[in-house]
Structure 1
């Protein structure tokens, strides 16, 4: 069995092993990490050999930690990442390059289209009718997107939304509210099979699925990092927020909204945002703009997206694709029966 785990912001850990009588045998850990002293690698392998195959990640990490001498230095990985690689080997997890990645990047669409297409493409990947897909959103009109479990009246100032003609829609994932106007954010979705995140904790899967975008931001000159549970941050404040939805089949929707150039004054009139939350969005005053990507790169939004897609393609490959007629039909049905209905939007008033 073979398992790999690329530590977000760190190194690759690879584990090859056998399972004999429900125990780990012939464990061989390797990777591009740094480890001192040399004999520590042998100690890691010996500690894992003989462990029950149903061991939790926490117990495997503890076993390895106990086996290492106090002077051990691990750079670019940890005992927890070794345990994760073991669990991914046991679960026959797939890696990014095992998949034929597709790209969907359409002209601007309505908020309801985006909500319904997210569910549609997730269902298609889950059913095996579509390969793993990266979709970049373009918005045709302003909106507020609230999380699946948020209260409308707690998050949205109805008077402000009406004044600016801003529609309120509800997505299928949890997390917080998004204020969107065409051209002011970069939003993307990943639709992946459960095998890609097999063996990862819920928290680790967030950083794992966005490691590629951190590399792209570094190419753009932004020193960015993942801030648990679901934020991407820089020295100047929050850049992006992520959210996930998982189906019973294991398929995962992971989507991210990045601030390119947001009108913070309008945002605070539409959303009910406290001072603490506003400061986390990168501005201390509602009169300022939330523009980490624009101000930190000095580049047009389209150029930032191009760099991101090029970075993904170099790592994993990426082929242009289009939404199928069947997917369009399913998304249209979901608008009529779910996302465009007051029952869904106001299911938590």
Structure 2
């Protein structure tokens, strides 16, 4: 009987080891929005070609930048004068979802083959969100996954407009009833790209300035709703958190939740060259940013 138990334990350990995914860690500083999006796509393309391993990346934005979901209509939803007023760039993401103002925040991205993170779009979104929750909880923040009662009410939907942080979707991360992480995902050729904004401070006034509103009263309602529905980590915790501190806790969350072996790495020469080309020929062009395109992958 003892030998049987030992054999079963050995089988479980071998199975656990087989499932361990080795993940490259990239920690980048602040860059312009068009290059941030270009790097994410360049990594996804390299992963599709089998040239690089699954990758976890952290980065920030300088200057501030409003990123649009793949399908959003700039003319109908974005206040370009407001963007200029706050000195923010504009870029369109390869992922779906709504607009996010990237300012005082840390952004994460995960690029991983579907064979290494199995499940539907919603299921993998949930798994990655669990890892984020674990990391954020270890900071002392009461984070959890959004449940149905945290979802968008019909009244809120009237004022939701273009803002990602106006309300959480299924399996997004909330704390004290407020959305604290906004994520989006796209799948192409068997490879997942999910990236998300984790604000340190959420500025509802700035976000509202970026959105097209019909009147000052409408803008005031949007700003009030955003203040109720979203917050930054520092606002929840009551103290300043550094990027390094948050990165350490999030890495721990991914390791403990998904069992990843996370190893520091760097972009390959080909990834850098492809990112430069994408930033110039795609993400830096008005025809991409200002015009909606056709779907080029499975979006969430």
Which interval holds the TM-score relative to the shorter structure? 0.7 to 0.9
Please name the residue that 1:328 is paired with: 272
Alignment partners' CA distance in 2, 1:276 and 1:235:
21
What is the aligned counterpart of 1:337 among 266, 281, 289? 281
Query: Is the aligned partner of 1:306 residue 2:248?
Result: yes
Shift, 1:143, TM fit? 1.0
Cα offset for 1:318? Answer: 1.3
Cα displacement string for residues 174-199 of structure 1 (whole angstroms, at most 9, x for unaligned residues):
00101122xx122100000011333x
Note the 1:1-349 alignment, pairs <5 A: 97-181=19-103, 184-198=104-118, 200-227=119-146, 228-229=169-170, 231-247=172-188, 249-272=189-212, 278=223, 281=226, 283-284=227-228, 291-297=231-237, 298-302=239-243, 303-313=245-255, 315-348=259-292
Q: How many residues align?
A: 250
Gaps of at least 5 residues in structure 1 are 1-30, 32-93
Deviations 1:191-245 (A, max 9, x none): 00011333x2322221112211111122122222222435211224111111001
CA distance in 1, matches of 2:127, 2:221: 28
CA contact (8 A) 1:212 1:312 kept: yes
CA distance in 2, matches of 1:279, 1:321: 42
Point out the structure with the larger helix share.
2
Q: Secondary structure at the match of 1:129?
A: coil
Q: Following the alignment from structure 1 to structure 2, what is the Cα–Cα distance between the partners of residues 210 and 196?
A: 16
- Secondary structure of the 1:103 match is strand
Secondary structure of the 1:347 match is: coil
| Greater RCO (Cα-Cα under 8 Å, separation 6 or more) | 2
8 Å CA contact retained: 1:96, 1:196: no
The structure with the largest alpha-carbon Rg is: 1
> What TM-score comes out, normalization by structure 1 length?
0.65
Change in CA separation of 1:255 and 1:96 when aligned onto 2, cut-off 3 Å: farther
- With normalisation by structure 2, the TM-score equals 0.75
| Gapped regions of structure 2 (runs ≥ 5) | 1-11, 147-168, 214-218, 294-300
Quick one: structure 1 residues 318 and 117, their matched pair in 2 at CA, closer, same or farther if it must change by over 3 Å? same
Using the alignment, how far apart are the partners of 1:95 and 1:151 within structure 2?
A: 46
Q: Calculate the aligned-residue CA RMSD, in Å.
A: 2.8
Give the structure 1 partner of residue 160 of structure 2: none
